[in-house]
Structure 1
């Protein structure tokens, strides 16, 4: 569970920013594709509707979800994240819905689920395509009726928050293969955000490099030739891969000013 963020001031800074700030949950860049994303985030944040965020791995889907929450009128409420593929199916069920004493073997005490703990805040279902089908069916009811039951209980509990889901998968393929429920997809995807890959926003490379460098104990900089070299690389893990590269360079590079010769060994794929 992610900790509740401190109550912000009444003035909300813009999401798109230059790399000289340390704002933890900001989207960095000025590419047209990012500007469109920010515009949609601002509009979606003012609603209470469930939202689906689609994009390749490491592109910033979870960051976009946090920005929706932080830009919303309920930004002081909890933001809770559940990694849908990280737990066994039975654990996901109990984690989301909670359980009463004796609901199943090992349920030695009553426990509130994330749907209740989130209150009027935002529940992020990270990689919703990994949710078990049985849990998907129960989520349809939550969205439709705004109520749910803890495991082992018939008492209705109100759900007052917003569900934001992310996926790297093609959910149309998953629906065709019987791995994702169409009714849940259409309830989540009425509002859909598409997060661009790094290759779709290469103009943002200098800003991103400066931003990640500023976060390190030893700041580094890049020659224009090094930036050009980076723009020619494949980025299967997108922004996350670029961030990890900057971390490596900051810790291990001999010089703080990174040229092509310094960069080359860090671009070599491991054997």
Structure 2
């Protein structure tokens, strides 16, 4: 009985931290995944439960950052469509493919996102897109968000890290506005996975109901914090989290 209360308290704390980290930089879902495994859940159940539980956290983050979404309707429209379509495909792949097929490339994807973020400004100079100037690379952006959302629908861990890395390279805007768009796209992808997994996947609803309130509160608090962090600090916080996630996935 005591151990059950410890597990419950642990999920509450981890849920709040993951919601905040997702809003600030991304990667918070990888705190919840091993916590669920520690309760004795099989990996597939832990994966889909984690994905469903993380979704509401993006609601809090998106609400707190909604003022930074305006001013680029074409960018918002196309990335939103790509995020929804990619998430659907990713969910279907999870149900029909063996886990080894996609899991093999997960560390490489997350590690690449860390590199992209670390050298964001250098890459933009190579592309002749100075910080804050020039048009978006809309085709590359849409394709990148689409494939990142397939990954997110399949596994979900560190999806936000990959999204923000793609946005940083393909979009010319402030980190604050990119972070708000990342939260919005995460919300769309999570909404899709929530519906699909609720219908066809083995979700542990007790764990979901425990995690949802804390991820919402953590996402709202993290979204407010993200608006006050300097752009350079936010970028390198993402780099550190992404690198840590990649190492975790390689060693796991």
Using structure 2 for the length normalisation, give the TM-score: 0.27
The structure richer in helix per residue is 2
- Higher relative contact order, chain-length normalized (CA < 8 Å, sep 6+): 2
Using structure 1 for the length normalisation, give the TM-score: 0.26
